[in-house]
Amino acid sequence: MPITDKPFIGNPAGVCILNKPADEKWMQNVAKEMAVSETAFLYPENDGYKLRWFAPDAEVDMCGHATIASSHILWEKGFEEKEETVKFFTKSGLLTATLKGDWIELDFPELPVKETEASNGLLEALDVKKQLI
């Protein structure tokens, strides 16, 4: 489903709702056949859904638009009540989706901030001189 209200634009994603886990090779082949940037595979788990995303050539760790598509389908097809927050258990941690009017709000896991040195190439491209403190 494309994430837009206009035809032929947006970022489409496939959504495959399963009853139980599927074979990884099968999911990869389905994603290849779907030929969209990502296909989401989900099945009920605990009080939410196990969610995995596959591009045509490999599994990916995170995909926002396929998560939006998955939550939309769950609400629109009556798998979940529209007032309920949907929980997704993923390789990247717990993700949640909540319907806010016509919008879907996603809550992604927070990654810890870590300080890192800027590369000389980046500093050069930004025309910034490195300062020692």
DSSP bridge pairs for 105: 98
Q: Residue-wise over 75-104: b if at least 16 C-beta within 10 A, else e? A: beeebbeeeeebbbbbebeebebebeeeeb
For 11-35, the pLDDT digits (tens) are 889 999 999 999 999 999 999 999 9
Q: Does domain 13-125 have CATH number 3.40.50.2000?
A: no
The pLDDT of residue 128: 80
Higher pLDDT, 127 or 52: 52
Q: Which of 31-45, 87-101, 115-129 has the lowest mean pLDDT?
A: 115-129
Higher pLDDT, 80 or 122: 80
Are 44 and 87 contacting, i.e. CB atoms less than 8 angstroms apart? no
**Does the active-site annotation cover 38?**
yes
Question: For residue 109, what pLDDT band results from cuts at 50, 70 and 90?
Answer: confident
- pLDDT at 65 > cutoff 80: yes
The pLDDT of residue 132: 53
Question: Which one of 24, 38, 45, 124 is the catalytic residue?
Answer: 38
Mean pLDDT on 117-128: 84
- Sequence spans of domains, the chain: 13-125
Mean pLDDT on 55-69: 95
